[in-house]
C-alpha cells in the first residue's frame, strides 16, 4: 500500500539508472483489472465519479472530456498502479511500461504526432493527482519528450527557436529536480547568473543563445550531481518521471499536508500523462488559473490570473506576478468569452465553486484542470447560501458543504478600527483575518520559534510546497511575489490564516534575514501585523477585536438550527463569557465552574482566609465576604443568558489550588529569616506553609475535591446555594426568567448526592420563603457523571438527581486510567502504533467511555423517565463526539463559547447522517 513501511524511503534518487532498475517478475498485465484509462476525442474511459481510482485530476479531466470541454488528450495511471509501485519496492512492473506504450500509441494516432519524432515531436506533461486535492504538494513535469534532437524539430515546427529552447530548459530543470533530486535553487542560480551577466531582469528577455547556453549548463549540473548524462530516450524519461511522481506521494510536504488535513496515507496518487499545449508561443498564447467565484469572499465574480507568453508553472510558482483575469478580455476577447462560458458550465455541472487551469495556444483555449476550489469559510458560507438561492443545492446539501471545524475561521479577529497603525506596504489580500508576530524568513525558523511559544509571521519572496511546516505554525504569511492563486495564497486560505501576496514594494533578503520598503528596514524577529482582508502590512503589533457574525452566516446557521435535534449550551464562568456564547447562539449554560470566580485578585485573599479558618464560624465569616462576589457573578450570567437554563457546578477543585505552592513558600520563608524579616510576617508564612502541607495530596485528582469538599465543609455548599438563589431572585425582579440548575460534582455514591441535595434544598427554601417575592424560581438539582461507579449505579442516583451531565474529561481519565496531564507522553506513540486511533481527550472514546455513558442514560431513565442528560466536557465541542451524543439521545452538548457555532453545525450534520464533509 502507498502508506506502508517501504514508503519511508527517500522520494528522490541521484541516479536515474537506479530508478529504472526492475526487481520484480516480468509477468503480463492482469486481465481482470485496468490500470490505465484514456481520455480524448470527445470521450473518456473514466468519469468524475472515479476519484478513488483516477485521482481528482484524472477523474475531472475525464468528466470534462465527456462534457465536450476542450481538453488536451492523454491517459491516467491509477492509484492502484501507485500501490503496485510501493508493493514492488519502489518499482513499476515491466508490463505497466508495455501498457503505457500502447496508450501512448493511441495518443499519437489522435494527435497525428509521434513521441520522440525528430521533425514534429509529441510532448507530454506528467502530473500527480490524488483523490483529495493537495495543491502543490506533489510533483509535475512539463515538456517531457524533448532532447537535443527533438528540440530542433519543435523549433522548426513552431517556427520559433527561442520557444523550443525555453521549453527544453524548463523540462531539464523540472526533471532534474523532481526525478534526480537536485535542488531547484541550483538551476535558478544558473539562470540568475546569466541574467546578471546580460544585465536583464525578466526571463522573457533571455535570447535563444542564452537559453541554449543555460541548457548546456543545466546538463552539466546533472552530470556533476548524478554522475550520468541527462536521459535522451523519451520513454526512459516517461517511466522515470512516472515513478518519481508516484514517489512524491511520500515526500515530506505531502506527508505533512495529509497529516494536517486527515487524508489517509494508503490512498496513493494517480499519474496523468497529457498532451502538452503551450502558453509560451507568443502574444496570442497564455496560461492562467482561476475560480468561478471569489474564494476569499464568496462573491459571484469571475476571479483569477493569467500570464501572456508563459507556461502554467509561472503563474502558481509566484516567479512572475500575473495579471487579473479580467484584463484577458482586452487582450484575448474571444478566448475570454469562451472561458467564461465553459467555467460557468462546469460550476453548474459540479454545483460548486470550481478552481480551474487553462492554456491558450495561439488563440485556441484548452482546459487543463477543474476541481472543487479551496476557499475561506467566509466564502464557503456565502457560496453555499447563494447556491441554494440559485436552486443548485438544497439547504441540507449546503449544510454538508461546510466542515464544522472550519467555522473557526469565521471567528478570526480583525484589527481594532480605533487603533493607530503605520502601514508600510500593501499587497494582494489573499486570505482574510489579522495577525501579528515576529518576522521569520524560513519555515525551519518558524517551527523553532513556535516551539518557544513565540508568534511568528513567515516572510518569503514566494513560498513553495516545502514551506508547509512553517506555514502551519505561523500566524500569517507575507510574500513579495506571486498572486491570488499562488501557493502561499491557496494554502493559507485552506488553513484559515491571513496572507498577503505579491507585496512588490517589499524587497526580501532571506539570506541576511531582513526585508526593506524604500529606506525602511525590518529585521528578523521584529514584529509586524498583517491585515489579510485589506492587504496592508503594518509595522508593530496592532490590537484586534472579535469578528461579527451576521448576514449569510446567520441565515446558514438558521438552517442548521432547524435541522438539529441536540441543544447547544456553553461552558462559561463569567458574564462576559456568557455574553459571547449567547451571541454565538448558545441556548443556556451547561457548566459554570464557580471556582474560576475565586481566582480574581480581590477575591483570592478572602478565599485563603476561608481555607485558613480553624473552625466553622471563622470559615462562615470568610464565606460571607465571598457571597456578594458570587451573587453578582451569578446574576450577571442569568441576565446574559436571557431566560435560558444555567447549570452551576458547586466547588470542585481541592482547596490547596487556591494557596501558594509549597516550594514558593519555603523559599520566601527562608529569605525572610535570612534577612531578619518581620516576626509577624514570618509567623504568617509559617502558618500558611503548615496549612499547605496539611492539604497536600499524593493524587489530588482523586483526593479531597468535588462533593467531598461540600460534605466535609457544608458551609461552602450552603454559601454557594444562597448566592445562586438570591441572584436568581434579583434577576427575576429585573424581568429575566431564570432557570438555575445546581450540579453536584464527583458523585460516586447515591448517599453523597443526597447529602448535598438536602443542603441545597434547605437553603433554597430559606431564601425563597424569606424574600416574600412574587417570583417563583423553578430549579433543578442534578449531578455530573464523571466517576465510573456513578454510571454503574445511575439508576439509584436518578431517584434523587433530576439531571445528569457527563463530565467526560474526568470520566475519560477514570475509565481509561490515563492522567490527562501526563498521557501526552505516550498518546502519540499509541496513535502511531495503532493502539488508539485518536487522542481520547480530544475525540470521545466511544467503545469504553461511550459504553459507560450509554449505561448511565439507560439506568437513569429507568428510574426517572424525564431525566435531562447532557455533556459538558471538552468533547461537547468536538464534531465527531457530537455525532455520538446525537446517536445515544443526549438532550444537549455544552462547549466553550467560541465552539458554539461549530457544535450547532455538527449537531445538524449528525441528524443528516454525515460525520465528515465531502468537500472542504
Catalytic machinery residues: 487, 872
Angle between helices 849-863 and 808-816 (to 10 degrees): 120
Q: By the 8 A CB rule, do 78 and 35 touch?
A: yes
Q: By the 8 A CB rule, do 75 and 37 touch?
A: yes
Q: By the 8 A CB rule, do 157 and 171 touch?
A: no
Angle between helices 150-158 and 161-178 (to 10 degrees): 140
Q: Which residues pair with 459 in a beta bridge?
A: 478
Where do runs of H (alpha helix) occur along 112-251?
150-158, 161-178, 184-198, 208-226, 234-248
Q: By the 8 A CB rule, do 465 and 446 touch?
A: no
**Selection from 297, 247, 234, 292 nearest residue 101 by Cα:** 234
**Please, what is the end-to-end C-alpha distance for the chain in angstroms?**
25
Q: Pairing mode, if any, of strands 36-40 and 286-291?
A: unpaired
Q: Pairing mode, if any, of strands 506-509 and 536-539?
A: unpaired
CA 409 from centre of chain: 9
Q: By the 8 A CB rule, do 882 and 893 touch?
A: yes
Residue given cell 472514546 in the structure block = 845
Please name the helix (run of DSSP H) or strand (run of DSSP E) that holds residue 43, with its range, or none. strand 43-44
**Selection from 449, 547, 482, 590 nearest residue 875 by Cα:** 590
Rounded to an integer, what distance in angstroms lies between the CA atom of residue 870 and that of residue 785?
Answer: 10
Residues 6+ apart with CB under 8 A from 566: 882, 885, 886, 890, 891, 892, 893, 903, 907, 910
413-to-244, 438, 531, 544 alpha-carbon distances in Å: 42, 18, 10, 6
407-to-549, 553, 876, 903 alpha-carbon distances in Å: 11, 10, 16, 10
CB atoms within 10 A of CB 616: 12
Report the phi/psi class of residue 305: left, alpha or beta, with left for phi > 0 and alpha for psi in -120 to 50. beta
Rounded to an integer, what distance in angstroms lies between the CA atom of residue 784 and that of residue 507?
Answer: 59
Residues 6+ apart with CB under 8 A from 535: 426, 427, 428, 429, 430, 500, 503
Reading the block at residue 790, the C-alpha cell is 456513578
Per DSSP, the residues of 553-569 read HHHHHHHHHHH--SEEE
Rounded to an integer, what distance in angstroms lies between the CA atom of residue 230 and that of residue 223?
Answer: 7
Reading the block at residue 37, the C-alpha cell is 484509462
Q: Is the dihedral of CA 435, 436, 439, 443 positive or negative?
A: negative
CA 190 from centre of chain: 38
What's the angle, vertex CA 881, arms to CA 877 and CA 886, rounded to 5?
100
Rounded to an integer, what distance in angstroms lies between the CA atom of residue 780 and that of residue 759?
Answer: 14
**Selection from 651, 4, 563 nearest residue 265 by Cα:** 4
DSSP state of 597: G
Reading the block at residue 40, the C-alpha cell is 480524448
784-to-184, 408, 743 alpha-carbon distances in Å: 59, 28, 7
β strands within 276-332, DSSP E: 286-291, 303-308, 323-324
Rounded to an integer, what distance in angstroms lies between the CA atom of residue 244 and that of residue 242?
Answer: 5
Amino acid at each position: 500500500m502507498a502508506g506502508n513501511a517501504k514508503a519511508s524511503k527517500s522520494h528522490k534518487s541521484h541516479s536515474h539508472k537506479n530508478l529504472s532498475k526492475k526487481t520484480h517478475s516480468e509477468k503480463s498485465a492482469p486481465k481482470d483489472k485496468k490500470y490505465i484509462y484514456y481520455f480524448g476525442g470527445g470521450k473518456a474511459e473514466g468519469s468524475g465519479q472515479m476519484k478513488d481510482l483516477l485521482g481528482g485530476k484524472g477523474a475531472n479531466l475525464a468528466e470534462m472530456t465527456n462534457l465536450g470541454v476542450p481538453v488536451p488528450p492523454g491517459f491516467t495511471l491509477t492509484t492502484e498502479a501507485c500501490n503496485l509501485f510501493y508493493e514492488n519496492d519502489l518499482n513499476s512492473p515491466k508490463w505497466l511500461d508495455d501498457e503505457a506504450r500502447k496508450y501512448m500509441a493511441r495518443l499519437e494516432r489522435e494527435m497525428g504526432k509521434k513521441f520522440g519524432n525528430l521533425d514534429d515531436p509529441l510532448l507530454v506533461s506528467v502530473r500527480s493527482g490524488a483523490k483529495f486535492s493537495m495543491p502543490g504538494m506533489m510533483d509535475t513535469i512539463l515538456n517531457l519528450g524533448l532532447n537535443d534532437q527533438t528540440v530542433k524539430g519543435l523549433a522548426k515546427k513552431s517556427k520559433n527557436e527561442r520557444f523550443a529552447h525555453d521549453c527544453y530548459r524548463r523540462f531539464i530543470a523540472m526533471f532534474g529536480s523532481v526525478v534526480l533530486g537536485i535542488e531547484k535553487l541550483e538551476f535558478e542560480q544558473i539562470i540568475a547568473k546569466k541574467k546578471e551577466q546580460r544585465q536583464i531582469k525578466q526571463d522573457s528577455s533571455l535570447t535563444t543563445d542564452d537559453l541554449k547556453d543555460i541548457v548546456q549548463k543545466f546538463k552539466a549540473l546533472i552530470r556533476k550531481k548524478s554522475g550520468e548524462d541527462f536521459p535522451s530516450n523519451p520513454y526512459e524519461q516517461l517511466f522515470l518521471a512516472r515513478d518519481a511522481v508516484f514517489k512524491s506521494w511520500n515526500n515530506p510536504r505531502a506527508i505533512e499536508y495529509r497529516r494536517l488535513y486527515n487524508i489517509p496515507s494508503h490512498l496513493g496518487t494517480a499519474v496523468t500523462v497529457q498532451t502538452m499545449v503551450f502558453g509560451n508561443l507568443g502574444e496570442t498564447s497564455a496560461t492562467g488559473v482561476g475560480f468561478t467565484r471569489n474564494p476569499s469572499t464568496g462573491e459571484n465574480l469571475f476571479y483569477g490570473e493569467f500570464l501572456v507568453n508563459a507556461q502554467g508553472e509561472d503563474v502558481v510558482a509566484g516567479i512572475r506576478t500575473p495579471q487579473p483575469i479580467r484584463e484577458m478580455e482586452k487582450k484575448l476577447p474571444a478566448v475570454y468569452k469562451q472561458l467564461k462560458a465553459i467555467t460557468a458550465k462546469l460550476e453548474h455541472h459540479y454545483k460548486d465553486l470550481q478552481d480551474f487551469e487553462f492554456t491558450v495556444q495561439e488563440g485556441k483555449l484548452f482546459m487543463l484542470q477543474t476541481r472543487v476550489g479551496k476557499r475561506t469559510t467566509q466564502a464557503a458560507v456565502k457560496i453555499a447560501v447563494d447556491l441554494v438561492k440559485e436552486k443548485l443545492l438544497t439547504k441540507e446539501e449546503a449544510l454538508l458543504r461546510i466542515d464544522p471545524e472550519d467555522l473557526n475561521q469565521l471567528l478570526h479577529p480583525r484589527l481594532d478600527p480605533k487603533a493607530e497603525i503605520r502601514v508600510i506596504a500593501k499587497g494582494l489580500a489573499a486570505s482574510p483575518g489579522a495577525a501579528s508576530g515576529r518576522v521569520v524568513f524560513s519555515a525551519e525558523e518558524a517551527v523553532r520559534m513556535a516551539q518557544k511559544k513565540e508568534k511568528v509571521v513567515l516572510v518569503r519572496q514566494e513560498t513553495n510546497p516545502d514551506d508547509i511546516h512553517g506555514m502551519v505554525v505561523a500566524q500569517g504569511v507575507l510574500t513579495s511575489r506571486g498572486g491570488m492563486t499562488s501557493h502561499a495564497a491557496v494554502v493559507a486560505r485552506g488553513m484559515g490564516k491571513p496572507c498577503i501576496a505579491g507585496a512588490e514594494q517589499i524587497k526580501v533578503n532571506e539570506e541576511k534575514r531582513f526585508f526593506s520598503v524604500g529606506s525602511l528596514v525590518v529585521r528578523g524577529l521584529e514584529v509586524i501585523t498583517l491585515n489579510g482582508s485589506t492587504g496592508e502590512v503594518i509595522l508593530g503589533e496592532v490590537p484586534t477585536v472579535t469578528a461579527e457574525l451576521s448576514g449569510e452566516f446567520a441565515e446558514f446557521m438558521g438552517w442548521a438550527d432547524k435541522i438539529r435535534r441536540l441543544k447547544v449550551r456553553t461552558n462559561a464562568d463569567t458574564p462576559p463569557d456568557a455574553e459571547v456564547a449567547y451571541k454565538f447562539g448558545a441556548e443556556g449554560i451547561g457548566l459554570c465552574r464557580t471556582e474560576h470566580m475565586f481566582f480574581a485578585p480581590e477575591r483570592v485573599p478572602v478565599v485563603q482566609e476561608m481555607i485558613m479558618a480553624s473552625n466553622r464560624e471563622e470559615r462562615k465569616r470568610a464565606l460571607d465576604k465571598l457571597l456578594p462576589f458570587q451573587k453578582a457573578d451569578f446574576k450577571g450570567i442569568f441576565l446574559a443568558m436571557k431566560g435560558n437554563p444555567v447549570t452551576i457546578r458547586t466547588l470542585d477543585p481541592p482547596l490547596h489550588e487556591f494557596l501558594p505552592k509549597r516550594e514558593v513558600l519555603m523559599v520566601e520563608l527562608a529569605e525572610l529569616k535570612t534577612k531578619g524579616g518581620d516576626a509577624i510576617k514570618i509567623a504568617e508564612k509559617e502558618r500558611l506553609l503548615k496549612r499547605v502541607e496539611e492539604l497536600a495530596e499524593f493524587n489530588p485528582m482523586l483526593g479531597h475535591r468535588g462533593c467531598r469538599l461540600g460534605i466535609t465543609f457544608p458551609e461552602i455548599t450552603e454559601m454557594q446555594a444562597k448566592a445562586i438563589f438570591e441572584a436568581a431572585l434579583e434577576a427575576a425582579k429585573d424581568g429575566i426568567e431564570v432557570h438555575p440548575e445546581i450540579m453536584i460534582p464527583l458523585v460516586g455514591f447515591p448517599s453523597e448526592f443526597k447529602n448535598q441535595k438536602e443542603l441545597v434544598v434547605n437553603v433554597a427554601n430559606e431564601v425563597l420563603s424569606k424574600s416574600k417575592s412574587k417570583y417563583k424560581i423553578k430549579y433543578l438539582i442534578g449531578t455530573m457523571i464523571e466517576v465510573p461507579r456513578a454510571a454503574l449505579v445511575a439508576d439509584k442516583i436518578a431517584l434523587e438527581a433530576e439531571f445528569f451531565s457527563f463530565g467526560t474529561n474526568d470520566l475519560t481519565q477514570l475509565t481509561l486510567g490515563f492522567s490527562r496531564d501526563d498521557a501526552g507522553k505516550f498518546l502519540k506513540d499509541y496513535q502511531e502504533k495503532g493502539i488508539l486511533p485518536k487522542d481520547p481527550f480530544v475525540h470521545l472514546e466511544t467503545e469504553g467511555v461511550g459504553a459507560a455513558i450509554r449505561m448511565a442514560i439507560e439506568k437513569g431513565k429507568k428510574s426517572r423517565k424525564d431525566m435531562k442528560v447532557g455533556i459538558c466536557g471538552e468533547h461537547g465541542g468536538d464534531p465527531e463526539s457530537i455525532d455520538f451524543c446525537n446517536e445515544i439521545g443526549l438532550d444537549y452538548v455544552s462547549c466553550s463559547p467560541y465552539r458554539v457555532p461549530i457544535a450547532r453545525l455538527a449537531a445538524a450534520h449528525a441528524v443528516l447522517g454525515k460525520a465528515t464533509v465531502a468537500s472542504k
